[in-house]
Amino acid sequence: MSRSVLFTSSPLLASRTPKWRSKFVMGAMALAFFGLAARAAYIQVVGNAFFQKQGEVRFARTLELPANRGRILDRNGLILASSVPAPSIWAIPEDVNLEPAQLQKLAKLLGLSVNDLSAKLGQEDKTFVWLKRQLDVPVAKQIAEMKMKGIYQRMEYRREYPEGEAAAHVVGFTNVEDKGQEGIELAFNKDLSGRTGSRRVIKDRLGRVVEDVGDQIPPVDGRDLQLSIDSKIQFFAFQKLRESVREHKAKAGSVVVLDAWTGEVLALANYPSYSPSKRTHLSGAQLRNRALTDTFEPGSTMKPFIAALAMEKGLVKPQTVIQTAPGKMTIGGSTITDAHPHGLLTVNEIIQKSSNVGTVKIAMQLKPQEMWEMYTQVGFGQKPKVPFPGVVSGRLRAYKTWRPIEQATMSYGYGLSASLFQIARAYSVFARDGELVPVTLLKSTENVAGVRVMDAHHARAVLHMLHIATEEGGTAPKAQTMGYSVGGKTGTAHKQEGKGYADKKYRGFFVGVAPIDTPRIVVAVMIDDPSNGKYFGGDVAAPVFSETVQQSLRMLGVQPDMAVQPMVVTETVPESF
Q: What is the pLDDT of residues 207-244, one digit of tens each?
A: 566 666 667 778 888 899 999 999 999 999 999 999 99
pLDDT under 50: residue ranges of the chain: 1
222 and 255 part of one domain: no
Neighbours of 158 (CB within 10 A): 20
80 and 176 part of one domain: yes
Number of domains composing the chain: 3
Give the per-residue pLDDT at 570.
Answer: 55
241 and 327 part of one domain: yes
Neighbours of 11 (CB within 10 A): 7
Q: Residue 308 in 3-state DSSP? A: helix
Give Cα 126 distance to the centre of its chain. 39
CATH assignment at residue 143: 3.90.1310.10
Residue type, 93: P
537 and 550 part of one domain: yes
**Buried-state track 25-63, b at ≥16 Cβ within 10 A, e below 16:** eeeeeeeeeeeeeeeeeeeeeeeeeeeeeeeeeeebbee
Cα angle value 193/198/200 (rounded, 5°): 165
Give the per-residue pLDDT at 1.
Answer: 47
Final residue in a domain of this structure, among 196, 226, 256:
226
How far is the C-alpha of 74 from the C-alpha of 273, rounded, in Å?
A: 19
How far is the C-alpha of 171 from the C-alpha of 81, rounded, in Å?
A: 7
208 and 241 part of one domain: no
3-state secondary structure 293-305: HCCECCHHHHHHH
Which of 363, 450, 463, 374 lies closest to 411, judged by CA?
Answer: 363
- The answer to whether residue 539 sits within a structural domain is yes
- The answer to whether residue 52 sits within a structural domain is no
Active-site entry in 300, 411, 485, 576:
300
Q: Residue 558 in 3-state DSSP? A: coil
Peptide bond into 276 cis (omega under 30): no
81 and 141 part of one domain: yes
Range of the domain at 335: 231-275+295-555
Q: Phi-psi category of 423—alpha, beta or left, where left has phi over 0 and alpha has psi -120 to 50?
A: alpha
Final residue in a domain of this structure, among 226, 249, 267:
226
Q: Residue 55 in 3-state DSSP? A: helix
CA dist 333 → 223, 336, 359, 463 (Å): 61, 10, 18, 35
217 and 240 part of one domain: no
375 and 429 part of one domain: yes
219 and 238 part of one domain: no
Q: Residue 274 in 3-state DSSP? A: coil
Give the per-residue pLDDT at 39.
Answer: 77
37 and 81 part of one domain: no
463 and 327 part of one domain: yes
- The answer to whether residue 283 sits within a structural domain is no
- 8-state DSSP, 63: E
Neighbours of 336 (CB within 10 A): 21
Is 300 one of the annotated active-site residues of the chain? Answer: yes
213 and 102 part of one domain: yes
